[in-house]
C-alpha cells in the first residue's frame, strides 16, 4: 500500500492510496482542533461527502460544535511526510511506501500506528497496532466491562433484554486508549470494532455502506481527550435541578399509573412512608389518547400544586393507534386522528406508511417483527405539527414536564424508505433517535421555564445533548448491579456525562435464593443515591412494600440523595464545561495509576467523592484508594492513598464513600455534614 500527495492547501491535504492489488482511492487529512486530526476517505467517484456525525451535530440549533479545519504544516524528506497544526503539540509521521501513518508526540515518540486503510465492496476499513499493555475504553454503553480490549464490538443499537454481552442502547464508535490516543468513527452507519480479538496486537475498524471517516485524538490524558471530543460533538446542556431527584415509575403493563386513582395511591403511600420524590412517569397512560386529556390535565394540575412534576411515555417517533383514529370497522390505513397526514410519515417506495421495524427489538417481548408508522423528522411540516400541535397541547395546555422516551433502537435502514428531504436511510438507525431526542429536549427547554426532562433510553454519538439517558432493562440480581455500573463507566468514557438506571433492576430475579430481593434492592438504592438521579420502575416490589428495615434504608439514601443534589448540580456544570462525566472511571483522575486503569467496581462522583458500591451478597469488600487523602463518610477516619484496604466492613445499611480532603468543591463539605446527620452521626 503506497501513499502519494496529489493536492494540498493551507488546511488540508489530499493523497492517493494505492493498494497491493492496484486499487486506488483518495483520502483527505485535516486538523479541526489542536492535537485532533481527521482522516476521511472519498467515495468511489473521488468526492468527499458531508455526512459526518460531527457535521450533522454542528447543524443543530444552538450547536457549539467546531468542524472547520485549522491550518496545517506539511513537510517532506526522503519519502517521509510530517503533518502538524501550529496550535497543537503533536504531529503525524507518514511513510509513503509502504504506507504507515504514525501519530507522534512532540518529542517524536510514536503513540500508535495506522498501517492500512481500504474498502472492500460496501465495507471500508482501517487498522492499526496496539501496545502490549494498552487498555481500550469507550464504545458507548457496555454492560460487560469498561475495558473492551480483546473484544469485537458491534456498533448497532439493540434491545437485547437483560443481556450483558453484545447489548447496547447507546453504541458510540469511540475508542479511548490508555496509550494517549482515541478514535471516533465520524459516521452513523453500523460499524465493527475489533479491539485485539482477532490479532492481539491489532485494532481493526470496519464501516458498513460508507467511506471511512475518523477523528484521531492525541493528548496526554483521557480527561483531555474527552474535552476535545466535546469540541467535535458539542457540550451537554445542564439538566434542570428537579431532574436530579427521585422519579417514580411503574411498568406500563401494570396500568398502575394509567388513571388518577392509581397515581394518587402512590402519592399517599410515598407520603405515609415519608419517602421523597420529584416526579411521576405515567407509563401506562395513553399519552396520545385525547379522550383522557381532561383527566390528565386535572391530574397534572393537582400534582403541580404540591410541587411534583409529571412525565408521560413516548415510543421515540413511533405513532400509536390513537393518532390514526381507528374504529373497529375501519381499515388500518386511516389517517384521521390528531390531524396527522401521510406526508408527515416516513414511507416505503410504494407509499406505505406502516413500515417494518429494525430487527433490534427485545425478542422476549416481541419474537415477531413489528410494523409501525414513524414521524418523518426530515420534514419541517411534520416537525412543526408534532411540536406545535401534538406536544404543544401536551406541554402548553396540559402542562406535561417531559417524556420518558423508550424504544430508540427500532428505526430501520431499509433501502426502500423515503424521506421528505430525499436522504438515504443509511445511518438512520442511529441518527433517528438523536434527531428525535434533541428535538424533544429542545421543546421542553423552550416551553418549560424551570426546565423539562427528556428521559431517553438510547441513541448514539450526540446522546449527551438530551439528558438524561437511562441504561435500559435489567433483572433485580447481583450480576446486573455490576452490569449497571459497567454501563455508567463505559458511557461516561464515551462522552455522555449523565447516565442513570432503574433502581436495582426493573424485573424480578429468576433465582430468588441467589438474589434475595430485599438485599439487592438495598444495595441498588445505595448505588442509586450516588448517581445522577434515582428512578423506581418495573414490576418489582415497590420501595414502600418492603419490610420496615429495608424501607428505612431506602428512605435514608433517598433523603441523602436530595442532600447531594447541590453537589451534583455543581459537578454537572463542570461536566458541561469540560466533557468529564459525572460518574468517572478512576483513570480520569489518575491516568498514570495502573491499578486505577483496571478498577471497575468503584468510581469518582464528580471531583471529590469516591464511591465503592457493594455489588454482591457480602458484608465486606476490598476498597482501593488512589493517591490523595480520603475521609470516610460514615467512619470519619482519614486515610492516605494509594492503598488497598482489605475486607472493609459493609453492613447492609452502609456503602463505602470517601470524601477527598482539601477539596475545592463549594458544596461537598455541606453534603458530608448533611449525610452524617441523616445517618444519625450528629
Q: How many domains does the chain have?
A: 3
pLDDT value at 676 more than 70: yes
pTM, two decimals, is: 0.97
Where are the alpha helices (H) located in 400-451, listed in sequence order? Answer: 428-447
Pairwise CA distance, residues 109 & 327, whole Å: 71
Do 540 and 591 share a domain, yes or no? no
In-domain check, residue 403: yes
**For position 569, which CATH number holds?**
3.20.20.80
Nearest Cα neighbor of 624 from 593, 598, 645 is 645
pLDDT value at 329 more than 70: no
pLDDT value at 295 more than 80: yes
pLDDT value at 328 more than 70: no
pLDDT value at 538 more than 90: yes
The answer to whether residues 285 and 257 touch, using CB atoms and an 8 Å cutoff, is yes
User: Average of pLDDT values for 305-317?
Assistant: 97
Do 126 and 48 share a domain, yes or no? yes
Do 475 and 517 share a domain, yes or no? yes
Which are the contacts of 310, defined by CB distance < 8 A and separation ≥ 6?
279, 280, 282, 299, 300, 303, 304, 399, 400, 401
pLDDT value at 82 more than 90: yes
Do 392 and 532 share a domain, yes or no? yes
User: Average of pLDDT values for 497-524?
Assistant: 96
In-domain check, residue 130: yes
pLDDT value at 554 more than 90: yes
Do 556 and 600 share a domain, yes or no? no
**For position 638, which CATH number holds?**
2.60.40.1180
> pLDDT of 658-669, one tens digit each?
999 988 899 999
> pLDDT of 557-590, one tens digit each?
999 999 999 999 999 999 999 999 999 999 999 9
Do 552 and 629 share a domain, yes or no? no
Answer left, alpha or beta for residue 6, where phi above 0 means left and psi between -120 and 50 means alpha.
Answer: alpha
Q: What percent of the chain has pLDDT over 90?
A: 89
Which are the contacts of 21, defined by CB distance < 8 A and separation ≥ 6?
none
The answer to whether residues 147 and 135 touch, using CB atoms and an 8 Å cutoff, is yes
> pLDDT of 607-619, one tens digit each?
999 999 999 999 9
In-domain check, residue 377: no
User: Average of pLDDT values for 1-17?
Assistant: 92
The x, y and z cell numbers of residue 19, run together, are 493498494
HSE at residue 401, side-chain half, CA atoms within 13 A, is 26
Question: For the ranges 105-109, 186-190, 357-361, 531-535, which has the lowest average pLDDT?
Answer: 357-361
Do 71 and 186 share a domain, yes or no? yes
Of residues 20 and 282, the one with the higher pLDDT is: 282
> pLDDT of 205-227, one tens digit each?
999 999 999 999 999 999 999 99
Write out the DSSP string of 118-133.
EEETTEEEEEEE--TT
pLDDT value at 1 more than 90: no
Four-point Cα dihedral 192, 195, 198, 201, nearest 10:
140
Do 224 and 306 share a domain, yes or no? no
Q: Which of 175, 205, 233 is the last residue of a domain?
A: 233
Mean residue pLDDT of the chain comes to: 95
When pLDDT is cut at 50, 70 and 90, the band that residue 330 belongs to is low
What domain range is 630 assigned to? Answer: 583-678
Tell me what pLDDT residue 322 has. 87
Q: Which of 541, 574, 607 is the last residue of a domain?
A: 574
When pLDDT is cut at 50, 70 and 90, the band that residue 12 belongs to is very high
pLDDT value at 162 more than 70: yes
Asked whether the CA dihedral 448, 377, 279, 302 is positive or negative, the reply is: positive
In-domain check, residue 238: no
Residues comprising the chain, all counted: 682
Do 194 and 76 share a domain, yes or no? yes
Burial class of residue 432 (count of CB atoms within 10 Å of its CB; 0-12, 13-18, 19+):
buried
Tell me what pLDDT residue 584 has. 98
Four-point Cα dihedral 180, 186, 189, 190, nearest 10:
0
Tell me what pLDDT residue 334 has. 67
Do 137 and 260 share a domain, yes or no? no
Which are the contacts of 565, defined by CB distance < 8 A and separation ≥ 6?
241, 244, 245
For residue 213, the cross-strand partners are 40
**For position 139, which CATH number holds?**
2.60.40.1760
**Residue carrying C-alpha cell 386535572:** 298
Tell me what pLDDT residue 265 has. 98
In-domain check, residue 83: yes
Do 521 and 659 share a domain, yes or no? no
User: Average of pLDDT values for 525-548?
Assistant: 97
For residue 177, the cross-strand partners are 136
Tell me what pLDDT residue 332 has. 61
In-domain check, residue 562: yes
pLDDT value at 22 more than 90: no
Q: Which of 574, 594, 624 is the last residue of a domain?
A: 574
In-domain check, residue 325: no
The x, y and z cell numbers of residue 480, run together, are 446486573
pLDDT value at 368 more than 90: no
The answer to whether residues 154 and 190 touch, using CB atoms and an 8 Å cutoff, is yes
623: cis peptide before it, omega within 30°?
A: no
In-domain check, residue 488: yes
Do 196 and 75 share a domain, yes or no? yes
Tell me what pLDDT residue 24 has. 87
Amino acid at each position: 500500500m503506497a501513499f502519494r500527495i496529489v493536492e494540498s492547501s493551507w488546511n488540508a491535504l489530499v493523497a492517493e492510496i494505492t493498494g497491493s492489488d492496484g486499487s486506488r482511492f483518495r483520502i483527505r487529512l485535516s486538523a479541526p482542533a489542536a492535537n485532533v486530526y481527521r482522516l476521511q476517505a472519498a467515495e468511489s467517484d473521488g468526492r468527499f461527502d458531508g455526512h459526518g456525525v460531527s457535521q450533522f451535530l454542528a447543524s443543530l440549533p444552538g450547536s457549539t460544535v467546531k468542524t472547520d479545519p485549522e491550518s496545517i504544516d506539511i513537510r517532506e524528506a526522503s519519502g517521509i511526510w510530517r503533518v502538524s497544526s501550529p496550535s497543537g503539540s503533536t504531529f503525524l509521521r507518514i511513510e509513503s511506501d509502504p504506507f504507515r501513518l504514525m501519530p507522534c508526540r512532540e518529542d517524536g515518540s510514536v503513540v500508535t500506528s495506522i498501517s492500512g486503510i481500504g474498502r472492500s465492496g460496501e465495507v471500508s476499513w482501517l487498522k492499526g497496532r496496539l501496545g502490549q499493555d494498552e487498555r481500550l475504553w469507550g464504545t458507548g454503553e457496555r454492560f460487560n466491562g469498561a475495558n473492551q480490549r480483546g473484544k469485537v464490538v458491534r456498533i448497532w443499537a439493540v434491545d437485547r433484554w437483560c443481556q450483558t454481552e453484545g447489548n447496547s442502547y447507546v453504541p458510540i464508535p469511540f475508542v479511548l486508549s490508555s496509550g494517549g490516543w482515541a478514535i471516533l468513527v465520524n459516521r452513523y452507519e453500523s460499524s465493527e470494532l475489533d479491539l485485539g480479538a482477532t490479532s492481539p496486537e491489532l485494532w481493526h475498524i470496519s464501516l458498513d455502506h460508507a467511506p471511512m471517516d475518523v477523528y484521531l485524538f492525541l493528548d496526554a490524558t483521557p480527561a483531555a481527550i474527552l474535552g476535545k471530543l466535546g469540541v467535535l460533538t458539542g457540550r451537554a446542556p445542564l439538566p434542570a435541578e428537579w431532574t436530579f431527584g427521585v422519579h417514580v415509575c411503574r411498568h406500563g403493563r401494570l396500568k398502575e399509573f394509567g388513571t388518577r386513582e392509581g397515581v394518587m395511591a402512590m402519592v399517599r403511600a410515598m407520603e405515609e412512608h415519608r419517602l421523597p420524590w420529584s416526579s411521576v412517569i405515567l407509563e401506562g397512560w395513553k399519552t396520545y389518547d385525547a379522550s383522557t386529556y381532561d383527566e390528565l390535565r386535572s391530574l397534572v394540575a393537582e400534582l403541580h400544586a404540591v410541587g411534583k412534576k409529571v412525565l408521560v411515555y413516548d415510543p421515540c417517533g413511533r405513532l400509536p393507534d390513537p393518532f390514526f383514529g381507528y374504529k373497529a370497522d375501519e381499515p388500518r390505513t386511516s389517517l384521521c386522528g390528531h390531524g396527522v397526514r401521510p406526508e408527515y410519515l416516513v414511507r416505503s417506495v410504494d407509499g406505505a406508511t406502516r413500515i417494518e421495524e429494525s430487527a433490534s427489538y427485545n425478542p422476549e417481548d416481541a419474537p415477531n417483527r413489528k410494523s409501525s408508522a414513524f414521524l418523518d423528522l426530515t420534514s419541517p411540516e411534520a416537525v412543526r405539527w408534532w411540536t406545535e400541535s401534538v406536544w404543544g397541547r401536551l406541554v402548553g395546555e396540559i402542562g406535561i414536564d417531559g417524556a420518558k422516551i423508550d424504544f430508540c433502537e427500532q428505526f430501520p435502514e431499509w433501502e426502500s424508505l423515503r424521506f421528505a428531504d430525499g436522504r438515504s436511510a443509511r445511518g438512520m438507525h442511529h441518527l433517528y433517535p438523536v434527531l428525535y431526542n434533541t428535538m424533544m429536549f429542545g421543546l421542553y427547554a423552550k416551553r418549560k421555564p424551570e426546565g423539562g426532562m427528556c428521559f431517553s433510553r438510547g441513541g448514539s454519538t450526540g446522546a449527551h445533548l438530551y439528558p438524561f439517558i437511562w441504561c435500559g432493562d435489567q433483572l433485580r440480581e447481583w450480576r446486573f448491579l455490576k452490569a449497571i455500573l459497567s454501563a455508567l463507566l463505559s458511557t461516561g468514557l464515551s462522552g455522555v456525562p449523565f447516565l442513570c438506571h432503574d433502581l436495582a433492576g426493573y424485573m424480578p430475579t429468576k433465582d430468588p435464593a441467589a438474589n434475595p430481593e430485599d438485599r439487592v434492592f438495598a444495595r441498588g438504592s445505595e448505588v442509586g443515591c450516588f448517581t445522577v438521579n434515582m428512578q423506581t420502575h418495573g414490576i418489582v416490589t415497590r420501595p414502600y412494600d418492603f419490610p420496615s428495615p429495608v424501607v428505612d434504608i431506602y428512605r435514608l439514601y433517598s433523603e441523602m440523595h436530595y442532600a447531594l443534589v447541590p453537589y451534583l448540580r455543581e459537578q454537572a456544570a463542570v461536566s458541561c464545561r469540560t466533557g468529564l462525566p459525572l460518574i468517572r472511571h478512576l483513570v480520569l483522575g489518575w491516568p498514570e495509576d495502573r491499578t486505577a486503569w483496571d478498577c471497575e467496581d468503584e468510581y469518582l462522583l464528580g471531583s471529590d467523592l469516591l464511591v465503592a458500591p457493594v455489588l454482591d451478597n457480602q458484608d465486606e469488600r476490598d476498597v482501593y484508594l488512589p493517591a490523595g487523602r480520603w475521609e470516610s463518610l460514615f467512619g470519619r477516619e482519614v486515610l492516605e492513598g494509594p492503598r488497598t484496604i482489605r475486607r472493609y466492613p459493609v453492613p447492609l445499611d452502609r456503602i463505602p464513600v470517601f470524601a477527598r480532603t482539601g477539596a475545592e468543591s463549594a458544596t461537598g463539605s455541606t453534603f458530608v455534614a448533611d449525610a452524617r446527620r441523616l445517618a444519625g452521626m450528629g
